Amino acid sequence: MNTKRLILILGLAGFIVMADNWVVSPILPAIAKSFKVNPASAGILIAAYMLPFGLFQLVFGPLADRYGKLRVIMSTMIFFTIATALCGLGTALTDLSVYRALTGLFAAATMPVSLALIGDVVPLENRQTAIGTFMGISFLGQALSMGIGGTIAFFVSWRGVFFAYAIIAAFITVLLISTSKKLSGQLTSNPNSQVLAPYAKLLGHFPSLRAYIVVVFEGIFILGSFSYLGANISHVFNFGYLAIGLIMTAFGIGAILAGRLGGKVAAKTGRRRLIAFGLLLAATADLLIATFSTNLAATIIGVFLLGLGFMFTHSTLLTLATEFAKKARGVAMSLVAFSFMVGGAIGTSIGGRFINALGYQSFFTTYGILLIVLSLIAYVAISEVSLAKEEAELAL
Protein backbone atom coordinates (compact mmCIF):
# COMPACT_ATOMS: atom_id res chain seq x y z
CA MET A 1 0.00 0.00 0.00
CA ASN A 2 1.34 3.43 -0.97
CA THR A 3 1.49 5.29 2.36
CA LYS A 4 1.48 8.67 0.61
CA ARG A 5 -1.90 7.81 -0.93
CA LEU A 6 -3.19 6.66 2.45
CA ILE A 7 -2.06 9.90 4.11
CA LEU A 8 -3.71 11.94 1.35
CA ILE A 9 -7.03 10.12 1.81
CA LEU A 10 -6.84 10.44 5.60
CA GLY A 11 -6.02 14.11 5.10
CA LEU A 12 -9.14 14.55 2.96
CA ALA A 13 -11.19 12.91 5.72
CA GLY A 14 -9.61 15.32 8.18
CA PHE A 15 -10.29 18.21 5.78
CA ILE A 16 -14.05 17.59 5.65
CA VAL A 17 -14.30 16.93 9.38
CA MET A 18 -12.43 20.12 10.29
CA ALA A 19 -14.39 22.12 7.72
CA ASP A 20 -17.63 20.78 9.20
CA ASN A 21 -16.36 21.65 12.67
CA TRP A 22 -16.39 25.38 11.91
CA VAL A 23 -19.05 25.69 9.23
CA VAL A 24 -22.00 26.63 11.45
CA SER A 25 -20.49 29.97 12.54
CA PRO A 26 -20.90 31.84 9.22
CA ILE A 27 -24.34 30.35 8.50
CA LEU A 28 -25.73 30.74 12.02
CA PRO A 29 -27.69 33.95 11.19
CA ALA A 30 -29.31 32.22 8.20
CA ILE A 31 -30.30 29.21 10.32
CA ALA A 32 -31.69 31.47 13.04
CA LYS A 33 -33.76 33.40 10.49
CA SER A 34 -35.07 30.17 8.95
CA PHE A 35 -36.28 28.87 12.33
CA LYS A 36 -37.42 32.32 13.51
CA VAL A 37 -35.14 32.43 16.55
CA ASN A 38 -32.40 34.86 17.50
CA PRO A 39 -28.76 33.98 16.70
CA ALA A 40 -27.93 33.66 20.40
CA SER A 41 -30.49 30.87 20.76
CA ALA A 42 -29.21 29.18 17.60
CA GLY A 43 -25.75 29.14 19.19
CA ILE A 44 -26.77 25.89 20.89
CA LEU A 45 -25.89 24.20 17.58
CA ILE A 46 -22.21 24.94 18.18
CA ALA A 47 -22.27 23.57 21.72
CA ALA A 48 -24.26 20.53 20.58
CA TYR A 49 -21.44 19.66 18.18
CA MET A 50 -18.41 20.52 20.30
CA LEU A 51 -19.34 18.59 23.46
CA PRO A 52 -19.58 15.10 21.88
CA PHE A 53 -16.71 15.97 19.53
CA GLY A 54 -14.44 16.50 22.52
CA LEU A 55 -15.65 13.70 24.78
CA PHE A 56 -15.86 10.91 22.22
CA GLN A 57 -12.26 11.34 21.16
CA LEU A 58 -11.47 9.52 24.40
CA VAL A 59 -13.86 6.72 23.42
CA PHE A 60 -12.71 6.05 19.88
CA GLY A 61 -9.03 5.68 20.80
CA PRO A 62 -9.51 2.46 22.81
CA LEU A 63 -12.03 1.20 20.24
CA ALA A 64 -9.48 1.71 17.47
CA ASP A 65 -6.81 -0.17 19.41
CA ARG A 66 -9.18 -3.05 20.04
CA TYR A 67 -11.06 -3.37 16.73
CA GLY A 68 -8.68 -1.86 14.16
CA LYS A 69 -7.94 1.77 13.33
CA LEU A 70 -8.98 1.85 9.70
CA ARG A 71 -12.18 -0.04 10.51
CA VAL A 72 -13.13 2.62 13.10
CA ILE A 73 -12.33 5.48 10.70
CA MET A 74 -14.42 3.93 7.93
CA SER A 75 -17.39 3.18 10.20
CA THR A 76 -17.48 6.64 11.75
CA MET A 77 -17.10 8.35 8.37
CA ILE A 78 -20.17 6.49 7.11
CA PHE A 79 -22.25 7.74 10.03
CA PHE A 80 -20.66 11.20 9.82
CA THR A 81 -21.83 11.43 6.20
CA ILE A 82 -25.38 10.39 7.12
CA ALA A 83 -25.55 12.79 10.07
CA THR A 84 -24.27 15.68 7.93
CA ALA A 85 -26.97 15.01 5.32
CA LEU A 86 -29.61 14.89 8.08
CA CYS A 87 -28.52 18.38 9.17
CA GLY A 88 -29.66 19.63 5.77
CA LEU A 89 -33.10 18.15 6.46
CA GLY A 90 -33.52 19.74 9.91
CA THR A 91 -37.00 21.15 10.46
CA ALA A 92 -36.46 22.90 13.80
CA LEU A 93 -33.70 23.93 16.14
CA THR A 94 -34.29 20.85 18.33
CA ASP A 95 -33.82 18.14 15.72
CA LEU A 96 -31.01 20.06 14.02
CA SER A 97 -29.21 20.17 17.39
CA VAL A 98 -29.56 16.39 17.65
CA TYR A 99 -28.16 15.93 14.15
CA ARG A 100 -25.22 18.24 14.91
CA ALA A 101 -24.52 16.29 18.10
CA LEU A 102 -24.43 13.06 16.09
CA THR A 103 -22.14 14.69 13.53
CA GLY A 104 -19.75 15.80 16.27
CA LEU A 105 -19.84 12.36 17.88
CA PHE A 106 -18.76 10.53 14.73
CA ALA A 107 -16.37 13.29 13.62
CA ALA A 108 -14.45 12.79 16.86
CA ALA A 109 -12.77 9.62 15.58
CA THR A 110 -11.12 10.94 12.43
CA MET A 111 -8.22 13.04 13.71
CA PRO A 112 -6.84 10.97 16.62
CA VAL A 113 -7.38 7.56 15.02
CA SER A 114 -5.88 8.71 11.71
CA LEU A 115 -2.80 9.94 13.57
CA ALA A 116 -2.53 6.62 15.39
CA LEU A 117 -2.80 4.78 12.06
CA ILE A 118 -0.05 6.94 10.58
CA GLY A 119 2.06 6.06 13.61
CA ASP A 120 1.54 2.38 12.80
CA VAL A 121 2.37 2.45 9.09
CA VAL A 122 5.02 5.18 8.77
CA PRO A 123 8.56 4.67 10.13
CA LEU A 124 9.63 7.10 12.86
CA GLU A 125 12.19 8.87 10.65
CA ASN A 126 9.43 9.85 8.18
CA ARG A 127 6.58 10.15 10.65
CA GLN A 128 6.69 13.87 11.43
CA THR A 129 6.55 14.76 7.73
CA ALA A 130 3.61 12.38 7.28
CA ILE A 131 1.80 13.78 10.33
CA GLY A 132 2.52 17.35 9.21
CA THR A 133 1.11 16.64 5.74
CA PHE A 134 -2.02 15.07 7.22
CA MET A 135 -2.53 17.92 9.70
CA GLY A 136 -1.86 20.57 7.07
CA ILE A 137 -4.53 19.19 4.73
CA SER A 138 -6.94 18.82 7.65
CA PHE A 139 -6.51 22.35 8.99
CA LEU A 140 -6.79 23.78 5.49
CA GLY A 141 -10.40 22.59 5.76
CA GLN A 142 -10.76 24.53 8.99
CA ALA A 143 -9.21 27.64 7.46
CA LEU A 144 -11.45 27.49 4.38
CA SER A 145 -14.67 26.50 6.11
CA MET A 146 -15.95 30.02 6.77
CA GLY A 147 -15.48 31.07 3.16
CA ILE A 148 -16.90 27.83 1.76
CA GLY A 149 -19.89 27.82 4.09
CA GLY A 150 -20.64 31.49 3.61
CA THR A 151 -20.40 31.26 -0.18
CA ILE A 152 -22.68 28.21 -0.47
CA ALA A 153 -25.17 29.72 1.95
CA PHE A 154 -25.19 32.98 -0.04
CA PHE A 155 -25.76 31.39 -3.45
CA VAL A 156 -27.87 28.37 -2.39
CA SER A 157 -29.01 28.14 1.25
CA TRP A 158 -27.69 27.02 4.62
CA ARG A 159 -29.14 23.56 3.89
CA GLY A 160 -27.05 23.40 0.73
CA VAL A 161 -23.90 23.68 2.87
CA PHE A 162 -24.68 20.44 4.70
CA PHE A 163 -25.74 18.62 1.54
CA ALA A 164 -22.51 19.67 -0.21
CA TYR A 165 -20.42 18.52 2.74
CA ALA A 166 -22.30 15.20 2.86
CA ILE A 167 -21.55 14.57 -0.83
CA ILE A 168 -17.85 15.31 -0.31
CA ALA A 169 -17.78 13.10 2.80
CA ALA A 170 -19.46 10.25 0.88
CA PHE A 171 -16.79 10.43 -1.83
CA ILE A 172 -13.99 10.35 0.75
CA THR A 173 -15.66 7.42 2.53
CA VAL A 174 -15.68 5.45 -0.72
CA LEU A 175 -11.95 6.13 -1.07
CA LEU A 176 -11.38 4.88 2.48
CA ILE A 177 -13.32 1.69 1.83
CA SER A 178 -11.29 1.09 -1.31
CA THR A 179 -8.10 1.72 0.65
CA SER A 180 -9.09 -0.76 3.36
CA LYS A 181 -8.84 -3.62 0.88
CA LYS A 182 -5.16 -2.81 0.37
CA LEU A 183 -4.40 -2.32 4.05
CA SER A 184 -6.14 -5.32 5.55
CA GLY A 185 -3.45 -5.72 8.19
CA GLN A 186 -4.80 -2.71 10.04
CA LEU A 187 -8.24 -4.32 10.28
CA THR A 188 -7.12 -6.97 12.74
CA SER A 189 -8.52 -6.70 16.25
CA ASN A 190 -6.69 -6.68 19.57
CA PRO A 191 -9.14 -8.09 22.13
CA ASN A 192 -6.57 -7.63 24.91
CA SER A 193 -6.50 -3.86 24.46
CA GLN A 194 -7.50 -2.04 27.65
CA VAL A 195 -9.79 0.96 27.89
CA LEU A 196 -9.03 3.01 31.01
CA ALA A 197 -5.68 1.63 32.16
CA PRO A 198 -3.62 3.22 29.32
CA TYR A 199 -5.08 6.66 30.09
CA ALA A 200 -4.19 6.28 33.76
CA LYS A 201 -0.64 5.17 32.94
CA LEU A 202 -0.06 8.00 30.47
CA LEU A 203 -1.31 10.66 32.88
CA GLY A 204 0.44 9.06 35.81
CA HIS A 205 3.85 9.17 34.12
CA PHE A 206 5.42 12.60 34.62
CA PRO A 207 7.34 12.97 31.30
CA SER A 208 4.27 12.17 29.19
CA LEU A 209 2.04 14.25 31.49
CA ARG A 210 4.28 17.27 30.87
CA ALA A 211 3.82 16.86 27.13
CA TYR A 212 0.02 16.68 27.47
CA ILE A 213 0.01 19.81 29.65
CA VAL A 214 1.99 21.65 26.95
CA VAL A 215 -0.64 20.51 24.41
CA VAL A 216 -3.43 21.93 26.61
CA PHE A 217 -1.78 25.35 26.77
CA GLU A 218 -0.92 25.18 23.07
CA GLY A 219 -4.66 24.75 22.47
CA ILE A 220 -5.50 27.63 24.80
CA PHE A 221 -3.26 30.18 23.11
CA ILE A 222 -2.94 29.00 19.49
CA LEU A 223 -6.44 27.60 18.88
CA GLY A 224 -7.80 30.41 21.05
CA SER A 225 -6.06 32.93 18.78
CA PHE A 226 -7.23 31.18 15.63
CA SER A 227 -10.84 31.27 16.83
CA TYR A 228 -10.95 35.07 16.60
CA LEU A 229 -8.87 35.69 13.48
CA GLY A 230 -11.96 35.84 11.26
CA ALA A 231 -13.85 38.04 13.71
CA ASN A 232 -10.88 40.40 13.99
CA ILE A 233 -10.60 40.68 10.19
CA SER A 234 -14.31 41.40 9.96
CA HIS A 235 -14.09 43.97 12.78
CA VAL A 236 -11.07 45.84 11.39
CA PHE A 237 -11.60 45.60 7.63
CA ASN A 238 -15.35 44.95 7.43
CA PHE A 239 -14.83 42.13 4.92
CA GLY A 240 -17.44 39.54 3.97
CA TYR A 241 -17.18 35.79 4.59
CA LEU A 242 -15.62 35.03 1.21
CA ALA A 243 -12.78 37.54 1.69
CA ILE A 244 -12.26 36.35 5.26
CA GLY A 245 -12.09 32.76 4.05
CA LEU A 246 -9.48 33.65 1.43
CA ILE A 247 -7.32 35.43 4.02
CA MET A 248 -7.69 32.51 6.43
CA THR A 249 -6.34 30.24 3.71
CA ALA A 250 -2.92 31.68 4.61
CA PHE A 251 -3.16 29.69 7.86
CA GLY A 252 -3.66 26.46 5.92
CA ILE A 253 -0.78 27.29 3.57
CA GLY A 254 1.51 27.93 6.52
CA ALA A 255 0.38 24.69 8.17
CA ILE A 256 1.00 22.62 5.04
CA LEU A 257 4.44 24.18 4.51
CA ALA A 258 5.44 23.51 8.14
CA GLY A 259 4.11 20.00 7.82
CA ARG A 260 6.35 19.30 4.87
CA LEU A 261 9.42 20.86 6.51
CA GLY A 262 8.86 19.81 10.11
CA GLY A 263 10.49 16.39 9.92
CA LYS A 264 13.66 17.70 8.28
CA VAL A 265 13.94 20.66 10.66
CA ALA A 266 13.36 18.44 13.71
CA ALA A 267 16.09 16.06 12.54
CA LYS A 268 18.58 18.95 12.47
CA THR A 269 17.52 20.99 15.50
CA GLY A 270 15.89 18.47 17.83
CA ARG A 271 12.20 18.19 18.60
CA ARG A 272 11.99 20.32 21.71
CA ARG A 273 13.77 23.21 19.96
CA LEU A 274 11.27 22.97 17.12
CA ILE A 275 8.37 23.00 19.60
CA ALA A 276 9.76 26.14 21.24
CA PHE A 277 10.45 27.75 17.85
CA GLY A 278 6.92 27.01 16.64
CA LEU A 279 5.44 28.62 19.74
CA LEU A 280 7.64 31.68 19.18
CA LEU A 281 6.38 31.94 15.58
CA ALA A 282 2.79 31.81 16.87
CA ALA A 283 3.65 34.51 19.41
CA THR A 284 5.13 36.65 16.61
CA ALA A 285 1.92 36.18 14.63
CA ASP A 286 -0.30 37.37 17.48
CA LEU A 287 1.92 40.37 18.24
CA LEU A 288 2.11 41.28 14.53
CA ILE A 289 -1.69 41.20 14.22
CA ALA A 290 -2.05 43.29 17.37
CA THR A 291 0.64 45.86 16.57
CA PHE A 292 -0.28 46.42 12.92
CA SER A 293 -4.00 45.76 13.30
CA THR A 294 -5.10 48.01 10.41
CA ASN A 295 -2.46 46.78 7.97
CA LEU A 296 -3.91 44.08 5.73
CA ALA A 297 -0.51 42.75 4.59
CA ALA A 298 0.67 42.42 8.20
CA THR A 299 -2.56 40.60 9.09
CA ILE A 300 -2.13 38.11 6.24
CA ILE A 301 1.49 37.50 7.25
CA GLY A 302 0.34 37.03 10.84
CA VAL A 303 -2.27 34.46 9.80
CA PHE A 304 0.40 32.63 7.78
CA LEU A 305 2.89 32.65 10.68
CA LEU A 306 0.25 31.35 13.07
CA GLY A 307 -0.35 28.36 10.77
CA LEU A 308 3.40 27.84 10.38
CA GLY A 309 4.08 28.02 14.11
CA PHE A 310 1.11 25.87 14.99
CA MET A 311 2.13 23.04 12.69
CA PHE A 312 5.80 23.09 13.70
CA THR A 313 4.68 22.76 17.32
CA HIS A 314 1.72 20.42 16.99
CA SER A 315 3.17 17.98 14.47
CA THR A 316 6.24 17.61 16.70
CA LEU A 317 4.17 16.97 19.82
CA LEU A 318 2.05 14.47 17.86
CA THR A 319 5.15 12.66 16.62
CA LEU A 320 6.42 12.35 20.18
CA ALA A 321 3.04 11.08 21.32
CA THR A 322 3.07 8.27 18.75
CA GLU A 323 5.96 6.78 20.74
CA PHE A 324 4.26 7.08 24.13
CA ALA A 325 2.41 3.77 23.81
CA LYS A 326 3.05 1.73 20.68
CA LYS A 327 0.50 -0.90 21.65
CA ALA A 328 -2.11 1.72 22.55
CA ARG A 329 -1.51 4.48 20.02
CA GLY A 330 -5.23 5.11 19.66
CA VAL A 331 -5.40 6.02 23.34
CA ALA A 332 -2.24 8.15 23.23
CA MET A 333 -3.43 10.15 20.20
CA SER A 334 -6.97 10.50 21.52
CA LEU A 335 -5.55 12.04 24.67
CA VAL A 336 -3.55 14.53 22.59
CA ALA A 337 -6.63 15.47 20.56
CA PHE A 338 -8.77 15.76 23.69
CA SER A 339 -6.15 17.90 25.46
CA PHE A 340 -5.86 20.20 22.45
CA MET A 341 -9.65 20.60 22.13
CA VAL A 342 -10.08 21.24 25.84
CA GLY A 343 -7.36 23.87 25.64
CA GLY A 344 -8.99 25.39 22.58
CA ALA A 345 -12.37 25.56 24.32
CA ILE A 346 -10.80 27.26 27.34
CA GLY A 347 -8.78 29.67 25.22
CA THR A 348 -11.78 30.56 23.07
CA SER A 349 -14.04 31.09 26.07
CA ILE A 350 -11.55 33.25 27.94
CA GLY A 351 -10.64 35.07 24.74
CA GLY A 352 -14.24 36.03 24.03
CA ARG A 353 -14.60 37.63 27.45
CA PHE A 354 -11.21 39.30 27.07
CA ILE A 355 -12.20 40.82 23.73
CA ASN A 356 -15.54 42.05 25.07
CA ALA A 357 -13.74 43.77 27.94
CA LEU A 358 -10.55 45.10 26.33
CA GLY A 359 -10.76 44.61 22.56
CA TYR A 360 -8.96 42.56 19.91
CA GLN A 361 -5.58 44.30 20.14
CA SER A 362 -5.22 43.62 23.86
CA PHE A 363 -6.35 40.04 23.33
CA PHE A 364 -3.76 39.22 20.65
CA THR A 365 -1.04 41.09 22.56
CA THR A 366 -1.71 39.13 25.75
CA TYR A 367 -1.91 35.76 24.02
CA GLY A 368 1.29 36.59 22.10
CA ILE A 369 3.19 37.35 25.31
CA LEU A 370 1.85 34.20 26.98
CA LEU A 371 2.96 32.15 23.95
CA ILE A 372 6.51 33.42 24.51
CA VAL A 373 6.29 32.27 28.13
CA LEU A 374 4.90 28.89 27.00
CA SER A 375 7.78 28.54 24.53
CA LEU A 376 10.31 28.86 27.36
CA ILE A 377 8.37 26.47 29.59
CA ALA A 378 8.02 23.90 26.81
CA TYR A 379 11.74 24.01 26.07
CA VAL A 380 12.47 23.11 29.69
CA ALA A 381 9.53 20.70 30.19
CA ILE A 382 9.94 18.57 27.07
CA SER A 383 12.90 16.24 27.53
CA GLU A 384 13.68 14.21 24.41
CA VAL A 385 15.72 11.73 26.40
CA SER A 386 12.90 10.92 28.80
CA LEU A 387 10.33 10.82 25.99
CA ALA A 388 12.42 8.27 24.14
CA LYS A 389 12.04 5.94 27.12
CA GLU A 390 8.24 6.21 27.25
CA GLU A 391 7.49 2.80 25.78
CA ALA A 392 9.76 0.89 28.14
CA GLU A 393 8.73 2.79 31.24
CA LEU A 394 5.00 2.75 30.58
CA ALA A 395 4.95 -0.89 29.47
CA LEU A 396 2.01 -0.25 27.15
- Tens of pLDDT along 256-281? 888 888 888 888 888 889 999 999 99
- Count of structural domains, the chain: 2
- Would you say residue 203 has pLDDT above 80? no
The pLDDT score that the predictor gives to residue 241 is 64
If asked whether residues 147 and 274 sit together in one domain, one would say: no
If asked whether residues 166 and 200 sit together in one domain, one would say: no
Angle between helix axes 124-155 and 110-121 (nearest 10 degrees) is 150
If asked whether residues 154 and 239 sit together in one domain, one would say: no
If asked whether residues 248 and 281 sit together in one domain, one would say: yes
Positive or negative, the Cα torsion across 49, 304, 131, 279? negative
In eight-state DSSP terms, residue 146 is H
Tell me if the pTM is above 0.95: no
The residue that leads in pLDDT, 59 or 390, is 59
- Would you say residue 188 has pLDDT above 60? no
Domain harbouring 106, CATH code: 1.20.1250.20
The pLDDT score that the predictor gives to residue 11 is 92
CA atoms of 246 and 249, how far apart (whole Å)? 5
CA atoms of 79 and 277, how far apart (whole Å)? 39
What is the residue range of 323's domain? Answer: 194-396
- What confidence category does residue 392 fall into, taking pLDDT thresholds of 50, 70 and 90? very low
If asked whether residues 10 and 96 sit together in one domain, one would say: yes
If asked whether residues 257 and 184 sit together in one domain, one would say: no
Kindly compute the dihedral angle of the four CA atoms of residues 241, 244, 249, 250, in this order, to the nearest 10 degrees. 180
- DSSP H or E segment with residue 36: none
CA atoms of 218 and 344, how far apart (whole Å)? 8
Per residue in 77-123, pLDDT (tens digit) is 999 999 999 999 999 989 999 999 999 999 999 998 998 888 888 88
If asked whether residues 165 and 301 sit together in one domain, one would say: no
Identify whether the C-beta of residue 133 lies closer than 8 Å to the C-beta of residue 7: yes
CA atoms of 309 and 336, how far apart (whole Å)? 18
Identify whether the C-beta of residue 332 lies closer than 8 Å to the C-beta of residue 324: yes
Three-class secondary structure of residue 65 per DSSP: helix
Most confidently predicted of 145-149, 312-316, 363-367: 363-367
If asked whether residues 149 and 201 sit together in one domain, one would say: no
- What confidence category does residue 383 fall into, taking pLDDT thresholds of 50, 70 and 90? low
Instruction: Return the minimum-mean-pLDDT range out of 224-238, 288-302, 364-378.
Output: 224-238
Of 192, 207, 226, the one marking the end of a domain is: 192
If asked whether residues 391 and 291 sit together in one domain, one would say: yes
If asked whether residues 218 and 135 sit together in one domain, one would say: no
- What confidence category does residue 75 fall into, taking pLDDT thresholds of 50, 70 and 90? very high
Per residue in 140-170, pLDDT (tens digit) is 887 777 778 778 877 888 899 999 999 999 9
Question: Closest Cα to residue 325, out of 63, 6, 127, 65?
Answer: 65
The pLDDT score that the predictor gives to residue 190 is 61
Of 172, 192, 212, the one marking the end of a domain is: 192
Identify whether the C-beta of residue 42 lies closer than 8 Å to the C-beta of residue 30: no
Three-class secondary structure of residue 180 per DSSP: helix
The pLDDT score that the predictor gives to residue 46 is 76
If asked whether residues 119 and 36 sit together in one domain, one would say: yes
Residue 165 one-letter amino acid: Y
Of 159, 192, 225, the one marking the end of a domain is: 192
CA atoms of 23 and 241, how far apart (whole Å)? 11
Distances (CA, A) of 93 to 17, 31, 32, 161: 22, 9, 8, 17
Identify whether the C-beta of residue 252 lies closer than 8 Å to the C-beta of residue 139: yes
The pLDDT score that the predictor gives to residue 393 is 47
If asked whether residues 199 and 164 sit together in one domain, one would say: no
CA atoms of 158 and 177, how far apart (whole Å)? 29
Per residue in 38-73, pLDDT (tens digit) is 766 776 787 788 788 888 888 888 888 888 888 899
- DSSP H or E segment with residue 256: helix 241-269
Residue 142's Cβ-count burial label (10 Å; 0-12, 13-18, 19+) is: buried
- DSSP H or E segment with residue 56: none
